[in-house]
Structure 1
Amino acid sequence: MATAVTATSTLCYFKRQACPSSRPLSLKILANSELGFVTSQLSGCKISCKDDALAMAAKPISTLSRPPLQPAARRVCPFTGKKANRANKVSHSNHRTKKLQFVNLQYKRIWWEAGNRYVKLRLSTKAIKTIEKNGLDAVAKKAGIDLRKE
């Protein structure tokens, strides 16, 4: 599927701002049905092509569609912003080692009056107490969280 064509410096040249070397290098153009790009031995050098045929063969990589990455569940409370604390674990001999003190996060199903349904949230215990005291709508508005998405 992929055909390799060798191009010399007569068709492509290096810009002097990106790459100080002025000697000609051979470039390899890979023409594939979905992906065609220009590769060189030097990384970080910008390559510009004078020939339109080479420019047509080299599609920009940004046009490729990639599936969106799913964000990993972080150990941060969305309402209070609490996150892990770096601390020292101190032994009896006063030897200190680094450790993380994580937030006490709980999965909690809370009744949302405005939406007339339950909302499942991952909250810190401090946020649960604050919601019980002030109400879910007030705490979500103060934190800038839209509960309609959840």
Structure 2
Amino acid sequence: MAAVLAGPSALSFSSSSRVRVSSIGSVRKPGFRLGFSRSEFGGSRISISPAALVLPILAPVQPIVARRVCRFTGKKANRANKVSFSNHKTKKLQFVNLQYKRVWWEAGKRFLKLRLSTKALKTIEKNGLDAVAKKAGIDLRKE
């Protein structure tokens, strides 16, 4: 006995086995592959038409998360040991001292709100914002 499901699923199978089908048309089975596969009931053969497998590919949307890395100096977290009184060592992270700071940009005649480390702030005070940004490869016009 052969059965064909109409609609977007376009799934056909033979014999009287039961197959679970989702609304998109894929078989809910851990080892499912494209083309031909065996169902888990009675060894019947399953085939899916290529038209049912054409789905729009959407890129996963990732939230914008500020990383704990200074863009100007490249400083990032350091792995260190936390040593207890009994000299028991456990791993911990020592994060960079990142601060949000409004910095005056002389060439652009405006303030920039930057997230930078305190070490980068001292370097900017010494060498200037343009020199430090140029060395780091940062375009300040986009900030």
TM-score (norm 2): 0.70
Give the alignment of 1:1-150 within 5 angstroms.
6-8=11-13, 28=21, 30=23, 36-39=24-27, 41-43=29-31, 45-47=33-35, 54-62=49-57, 64=58, 68-150=61-143
Which AA in structure 1 matches 2:51?
M
Judging changes above 3 Å, is the alpha-carbon distance between structure 1 residues 100 and 44 closer, same or farther for their aligned structure 2 residues? Answer: farther
Q: Is the 8 A contact 1:7 1:29 kept in 2?
A: no
Structure 2 residues not aligned, in runs of 5+: 1-6, 37-47
| Identical pairs, percent | 60
Write the distance in 1 (CA, Å) between the matches of 2:34 and 2:12.
16
Which AA in structure 2 matches 1:56?
A
Judging changes above 3 Å, is the alpha-carbon distance between structure 1 residues 96 and 29 closer, same or farther for their aligned structure 2 residues? Answer: closer
Q: Which runs of 4+ in 1 moved over 6 A?
A: none
For the aligned residue pairs, the C-alpha RMSD in angstroms reads 2.9
Write the distance in 1 (CA, Å) between the matches of 2:22 and 2:88.
58
Write the distance in 2 (CA, Å) between the matches of 1:29 and 1:98.
45
Q: Please state whether the residue corresponding to 2:104 is helix, strand or coil.
A: strand
Q: Is the 8 A contact 1:84 1:101 kept in 2?
A: yes
| Number of equivalenced pairs | 123
Q: Please state whether the residue corresponding to 2:31 is helix, strand or coil.
A: coil
Counterpart in the other structure of 1:33: none
Q: Please state whether the residue corresponding to 1:8 is helix, strand or coil.
A: strand
Which AA in structure 2 matches 1:8?
F
Counterpart in the other structure of 1:16: none
Please give the per-residue CA displacement for 1:43-74, whole angstroms capped at 9, x wherever unaligned.
362337xxxx9333332341x476x4232111
